[in-house]
Amino acid sequence: MARKDKASNAAQKMKGKAKETAGKLTDDERLEREGKTEEAKGDVKQAGESVKDALKRGRR
């Protein structure tokens, strides 16, 4: 399941980056902020996955 989660997190980051870029190009501050927020959520989720991976390696 970890690979699926990591892929989902990466997709969320890319989607956020796309929204942020679209917001910049169209001078839509709301869309830009929304994109930054979504990208940050993806980063936090990826960090959580890294912690889970590290804990799994420590148990072995």
Q: Is 58 contained in some domain?
A: no
Tell me how far apart the terminal alpha carbons of the chain are, to the nearest angstrom: 18
Q: Is 59 contained in some domain?
A: no
Q: Is 39 contained in some domain?
A: yes
What's the confidence (pLDDT) of residue 52? 87
- pTM for the model stands at 0.79
Q: Is 56 contained in some domain?
A: no
- Residue range of the domain that includes 24: 11-44
What's the confidence (pLDDT) of residue 57? 86
Q: Is 3 contained in some domain?
A: no
What's the confidence (pLDDT) of residue 4? 86
pLDDT, one tens digit per residue, over 4-54 is 888 898 999 999 999 999 999 999 999 999 999 999 999 999 999 889 888
Number of domains forming the structure of the chain = 1
Q: Is 28 contained in some domain?
A: yes
Q: Is 22 contained in some domain?
A: yes
Q: Is 40 contained in some domain?
A: yes
What's the confidence (pLDDT) of residue 39? 96
